[in-house]
Amino acid sequence: MVPEARGVVWDLRRASDGIIEPWDFTAPATSGLNLPFLEVLLPTCPDRELVSHLRHGAVFKADLPL
């Protein structure tokens, strides 16, 4: 691997089409779940992070190198 590519998280979802690009961490999270329904179903869930992780993606609370 060339030095310029080290430490980059690569998006390989379209590698079969010849498209490999850096992962876009600013893009909105997508899901096949019915998130509006889950937000209505889980308003009193004691684990508010669960709903947040479903809506916005998981946030790992460790500052680790890639």
Give the pLDDT confidence score for residue 31 in this predicted structure. Answer: 76
Give the pLDDT confidence score for residue 20 in this predicted structure. Answer: 92
Give the pLDDT confidence score for residue 1 in this predicted structure. Answer: 67
Domain boundaries, position 44: 3-56
Give the pLDDT confidence score for residue 63 in this predicted structure. Answer: 75
Q: Write out the H or E segment, with its range, that includes residue 53.
A: helix 48-56
* Single pTM value for the model: 0.47
Distance CA 65, CA 14 (A): 25
Distance CA 64, CA 60 (A): 9
Distance CA 66, CA 4 (A): 14
What dihedral do alpha carbons 12, 18, 23, 24 form, nearest 10°? -130
> Tens digit of pLDDT per residue, the chain (66 long)?
688 888 888 999 899 999 999 988 888 777 788 888 887 888 787 877 877 887 777 777 777 776
* Rg over CA atoms, the chain: 16
